[in-house]
């Protein structure tokens, strides 16, 4: 069975595309459009990676990062894929020990990053 990945992004088109491509690569993916229930979800299910946007319907993604890092799930690897791509945002994301990719994003680069973060070869052996 593949790794569990959670995607939090209010751009449902983008997250659905990402989910379908990652599912094709053998991962088990769940998509959320906002982070209201995120901590509850993390407590009920196990996830190996969180992919998230910083701009979530006016909610602050950086506070979400802080609350995850202050929660029992602080170990969770996080990949931020965001339109907010300023130097300061990238520094703040790095301070929370998360990896950053700015939008627009190259899907191949994104999948490579996911692969490296999960430290595992692609489950179905698709070369990227």
Partner 1 sequence: MIIPILTLIVLCVFVLTGLIFLSILRLRFKFKKDNYHRKQAFAKMETFLLSLFAEEILPYQWAVRIPAHELGYLQEFLLPYLESLKGESFEKLVAVAHYSGLVKRLLQEANSAKDWEQAQAIYFLGLIREPQVLPLLQTGLDSDNMFWFYPSVIALARNDLQNLPRVLEALRNRSDWTEHLGVSIFAEMGEEVCPALLTALSKGETSPKIERLALAVLAHFGYQGAEAILKEYILYSKDHELQIRALRAWNQLKLTFFEGIASAMKNPDWEIRAAAVTALSSSGAVDQALLARPLLRDSNWWVRLRAAQTMLNLSPREELHIMLDNPLEDRYAKDMLRYILTREGGATCVIPTIHVL
CA angle at 79 for the pair 73 and 85, rounded to the nearest 5°: 130
Report the SS3 class of residue 84: coil
* Spatial separation of the C-alpha atoms in residues 5 and 51, rounded to whole Å: 7
Shortest Cβ distance from residue 122 to partner 1 (Å)?
Answer: 15
Shortest Cβ distance from residue 60 to partner 1 (Å)?
Answer: 15
What residues contact residue 25 under an 8 Å CB cut-off, 6+ apart?
2, 111, 122, 123, 124, 126
> 41 to 100, contacts with partner 1 by CB under 8 A?
66, 69-70, 74-75, 77, 83, 85-88, 90-91, 95-99
Short-list 79, 70, 74, CA closest to 105: 79
Shortest Cβ distance from residue 41 to partner 1 (Å)?
Answer: 20
Of positions 116, 121, 123, 124, contacts partner 1 by CB under 8 A: 116
By the criterion CB under 8 A, which residues form the site for partner 1? Answer: 11, 13-14, 16-17, 20-21, 24, 66, 69-70, 74-75, 77, 83, 85-88, 90-91, 95-99, 103-109, 113, 116-117
């Amino acid at each position: 069975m593949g790794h569990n990945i959670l995607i939090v992004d209010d751009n449902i088109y983008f997250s659905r595309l990402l989910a379908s491509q990652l599912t094709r690569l053998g991962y088990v993916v769940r998509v959320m459009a906002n982070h209201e229930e995120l901590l509850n979800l993390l407590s009920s299910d196990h996830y190996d990676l969180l992919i998230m946007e910083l701009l979530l319907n006016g909610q602050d993604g950086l506070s979400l990062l802080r609350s995850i890092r202050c929660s029992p799930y602080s170990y969770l690897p996080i990949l931020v894929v965001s339109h907010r791509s300023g130097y300061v945002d990238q520094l703040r994301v790095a301070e929370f020990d998360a990896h950053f990719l700015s939008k627009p994003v190259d899907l191949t680069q994104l999948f490579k990053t996911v692969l490296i973060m999960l430290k595992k070869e692609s489950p179905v052996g698709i070369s990227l």
